Amino acid sequence: MSTARQTRQREVIVQVLQQAEGPLSAPELLARAQVTLPGLGTATVYRTLKLMQEQGEAHAVHLDGEPMYESSGRGHHHHFSCNGCGRVFSLHSCPVALPRGTVYPGGFVVEDHEVTLYGRCPQCAAQQAQAPAPGVTAG
Amino acid sequence: MSTARQTRQREVIVQVLQQAEGPLSAPELLARAQVTLPGLGTATVYRTLKLMQEQGEAHAVHLDGEPMYESSGRGHHHHFSCNGCGRVFSLHSCPVALPRGTVYPGGFVVEDHEVTLYGRCPQCAAQQAQAPAPGVTAG
DNA sequence: CTATTTGCAAACCCTTTGCGCTGGT
DNA sequence: ACCAGCGCAAAGGGTTTGCAAATAG
């Protein structure tokens, strides 16, 4: 079962994912990894991503319909997607208390959950409050 | 502004969506609608779906990375995706209290949220407890 | 040396778009 | 009659797969 070999490709992919400021889509991950490893192929990224997920080293989140990936080991958290600038932030406090094994009304046994909040990040919220429209002043 | 015409296709698509027990993917919706309207084309489903969303008659949810659609007017609710049978159920009690306008720690203004629970539906949970493997009887 | 891994390219979804014809109003 | 809407089929974007060459152990 020496199945997981240490290759340059995997090394780079893992590193890119760990250094990312947030979740990345496969194409984004590919692009970033190719900076270091120009010849890297699409398939390798997907295969490595699948492998990492099976081994629990990474997991997928779904933001606005796009599957994105992030490195594990940052603890349980969710995401906030800004409707203004489109950036995705990680939330470190979880708005729901649903540990594995919780039984939801009706007999649904919860094993995992995914929460995504949509709205305005601090910056966009501030812009909205201070400058409702371009050219409009507060006076 | 007589933009929205009443056609047999739209009638069927709307009906299928309203009668669905949960959210449907576009291909699923197409298949179900084709039972009634065999000649229905793929593009029509997507175009109608887009139209319905713009008019607020339907909205999209993202389950396991797949965009799925459901008829509006069932109130605020979320989904439970069964890891056993793959079916999706609608949950009528919301595990989070985050009305529009809630300000999340850090200054994030919440406008909307999406919650998906993953686990075992009542049936799959029962099977798991009572029949670990096919062909095994209880006696 | 042997089995795993890679890169390429083709294959596969799913979704969108262009176009001539049908059909609602 | 007019033009929105339809079905078909091609195009597009992301993800998966087959295979020979490359490489880790």
pLDDT single digits (tens) B67-124:
999 999 777 888 888 887 777 888 887 777 777 788 888 889 998 888 888 889 998 8
Q: Which of A45-54, A73-82, B67-76, B122-131 is the most confident on average? A: A45-54
Banded model confidence at residue A139, pLDDT cuts 50, 70, 90: very low
Tell me which of B51, B73, B95 is where a domain ends. B73
Q: Report the share of chain A in percent with pLDDT over 90.
A: 41
pLDDT on residue B26:
97
Mean pLDDT, rounded, for B114-137: 71
Q: Which residue has the tokens 């409707």?
A: A83
Residue A129 contacts B, CB cutoff 8 Å:
no
Minimal Cα–Cα distance from A63 to chain B, Å? 8
Domain co-membership, A91 together with A55: no
Banded model confidence at residue B130, pLDDT cuts 50, 70, 90: low
Domain co-membership, A38 together with A49: yes
Q: Does residue A104 have a pLDDT over 80?
A: yes
Domain co-membership, A59 together with A32: yes
- Distance from residue A8's CA to nucleotide C1's C1', rounded to whole Å: 22
- Distance from residue B33's CA to nucleotide D7's C1', rounded to whole Å: 15
Let me know: does A116 contact B113? Beta carbons within 8 Å. Answer: yes
- How many structural domains does chain B have? 2
Q: Verify whether the Cβ–Cβ distance B118 to A98 is below 8 Å.
A: no
Cβ < 7 Å from nucleic strand D: A 2, 5-8, 25-27, 42-43, 46-47, 50, 66-67; B 2-5, 7, 9-10, 37, 39-44, 47-48
Instruction: Say which CATH number the domain at A54 has.
Output: 1.10.10.10
Instruction: Say which CATH number the domain at B95 has.
Output: 3.30.1490
Average pLDDT across chain A, whole number: 84
Mean pLDDT, rounded, for A106-134: 79
Let me know: does A100 contact A111? Beta carbons within 8 Å. Answer: yes
| Predicted confidence (pLDDT) per residue in B30-76, tens digit | 999 999 999 999 999 999 999 999 999 999 988 877 899 999 977 78
Residue A139 lies in a domain: no
Domain co-membership, B6 together with B39: yes
Q: Does residue A137 have a pLDDT over 70?
A: no
Q: Which two tokens stand for residue A91?
A: 């939330």
Banded model confidence at residue A35, pLDDT cuts 50, 70, 90: very high
Domain co-membership, A52 together with A83: no
> Which carries the bigger pLDDT value, residue A71 or residue A1?
A71
Residue B139 lies in a domain: no
B125 to chain A: nearest residue by CA? A109
Tell me which of A27, A46, A73 is where a domain ends. A73
Domain co-membership, A28 together with A48: yes
Residue-by-residue DSSP string for B39-95 = T--HHHHHHHHHHHHHTTSEEEEEETTEEEEEES-S-S-EEEEETTT--EEEESS-S
Minimal Cα–Cα distance from B78 to chain A, Å? 10
Residue A62 lies in a domain: yes
Cα-Cα end-to-end distance for chain A? 71
Residue B82 lies in a domain: yes
B78 is in an annotated binding site: no
pLDDT on residue B132:
45
Domain co-membership, B26 together with B66: yes
Q: What's the domain range around A47?
A: 1-73
Mean pLDDT, rounded, for A111-139: 69
Q: How many CB pairs under 8 A join A and B?
A: 108
Q: Give the helix/strand (H/E) hosting A124.
A: helix A122-130
Domain co-membership, B64 together with B8: yes
Let me know: does A55 contact A10? Beta carbons within 8 Å. Answer: no
Residue B19 lies in a domain: yes
Distance separating alpha carbons of residues B70 and B88, to the nearest angstrom: 12
pLDDT on residue A133:
42
Domain co-membership, B91 together with B65: no
Q: Which two tokens stand for residue B102?
A: 């809630």
Residue A120 contacts B, CB cutoff 8 Å:
yes
Domain co-membership, B69 together with B82: no
Domain co-membership, A54 together with A95: no
Domain co-membership, A39 together with A69: yes
